[in-house]
């Protein structure tokens, strides 16, 4: 795992956006895995800026989102489909039919999950997956003790995630759905590259456990230690508990020119 510590969320997000943009320029029909939540918003703003000002072309790009709440329709103001349409898709030249978000209203959830996995496979697999991390260490909505072999399926949110996400539902925990469809950890590990973003002091514990703790399903993101191409973009606040923070800075600052890709 490569740890990239930037001054703040803006700089970290811009560095992550450069990695995404490089892939899209090299492979115009790249398959991107996308995430929701507050963390990737700055990344998406930067991609929109690159589209507007630098002609970054998404016309052939295909996307798959990590997760969706069960019971929220695509037009619900807290559905992740709506989040993606508003915060990214409507502001770049992507074809909406090339974008995929799990269907939170599916009548047959297991069948919808299997179809989602098949659609990812049919698209050739995910080239680059964007990830946030929950304060409890979840990736996608793979909560602690999720199987590392899991595929897209139904999950129940932890009480901590329900509390964390209540801010999007007017602070009312009772409005937060308890069930979701999420790509599995196995699905995420199949992506050819993973980039995780984590900003702010409330992510410091989970970041330290992910990077420097044991690989264990109690901290789902720790599986990225086994991924052949994972980059973690964090700010100073999220880096506070890292024992080897100075080493990660030293590595990043001293990267040879030919290796400096973020
Ligand atoms: P956040 O969520 O970006 O809103 O903090 C991250 C996550 O739950 O993965």
How high is the mean pLDDT in each 10-residue block of the chain (262 residues)? 97 98 98 97 98 98 98 96 98 98 97 98 98 96 98 96 94 96 98 98 98 98 98 98 98 85 71
Which of 12, 38, 39, 136 should be mutated for ligand 1, with most atoms under 8 A from CB?
A: 39
- Return the pLDDT at 112: 98
Segment (H or E) for 4? strand 2-6
How far apart CA 198 and CA 206 sit, in angstroms, is 9
Distance 163 CA to ligand 1 centre (A): 12
Q: Give the number of the atom of ligand 1 that is nearest the alpha carbon of residue 161.
A: 8
Nearest one of 85, 66, 62 to 74, comparing CA atoms:
85
How far apart CA 138 and CA 219 sit, in angstroms, is 7
| Distance, C-alpha 228 to centroid of its chain | 17
* Residue position matching structure tokens 């939170």: 104
List CB contacts of 14: < 8 A, sequence separation 6 or more: 42, 46
- Return the pLDDT at 258: 79
Distance 133 CA to ligand 1 centre (A): 6
Q: Are 163 and 173 in contact (CB under 8 A)?
A: yes
How far apart CA 252 and CA 165 sit, in angstroms, is 33
CATH of 2-259, one of 3.40.50.1360, 3.20.20.240, 1.10.10.10, 3.10.580.10: 3.40.50.1360
- Return the pLDDT at 89: 98
- Return the pLDDT at 256: 84
């Amino acid at each position: 795992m490569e740890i990239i510590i930037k001054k703040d969320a803006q700089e970290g997000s811009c560095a992550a956006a450069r990695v995404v943009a490089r892939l899209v320029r090299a492979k115009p029909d790249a398959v991107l895995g996308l995430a929701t939540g507050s963390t990737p918003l700055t990344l998406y703003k930067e991609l929109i800026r690159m589209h507007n000002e630098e002609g970054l072309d998404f016309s052939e790009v295909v996307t798959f989102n990590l997760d969706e709440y069960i019971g929220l329709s695509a037009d619900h103001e807290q559905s992740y489909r709506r989040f993606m349409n508003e915060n990214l898709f409507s502001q770049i030249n992507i074809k909406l039919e090339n974008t995929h978000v799990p269907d939170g209203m599916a009548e047959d959830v297991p069948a919808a999950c299997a179809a989602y996995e098949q659609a990812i496979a049919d698209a050739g697999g995910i080239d680059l997956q964007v990830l946030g991390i929950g304060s409890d260490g979840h990736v996608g909505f793979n909560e602690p003790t999720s199987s590392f072999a899991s595929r897209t399926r139904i999950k129940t949110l932890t009480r901590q995630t329900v509390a964390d996400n209540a801010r999007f539902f007017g602070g009312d925990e009772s409005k937060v759905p308890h069930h979701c469809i999420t790509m599995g950890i196995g699905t995420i590990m199949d992506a050819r590259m993973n980039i995780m973003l984590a900003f702010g002091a409330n992510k410091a514990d989970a970041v330290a456990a992910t990077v420097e703790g044991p690989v264990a399903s109690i901290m789902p993101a720790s599986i990225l230690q086994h991924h052949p191409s994972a980059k973690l973009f964090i700010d100073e606040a999220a880096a506070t508990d890292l024992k080897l923070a100075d080493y990660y800075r030293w590595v990043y600052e001293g990267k040879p020119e030919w290796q400096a890709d973020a």
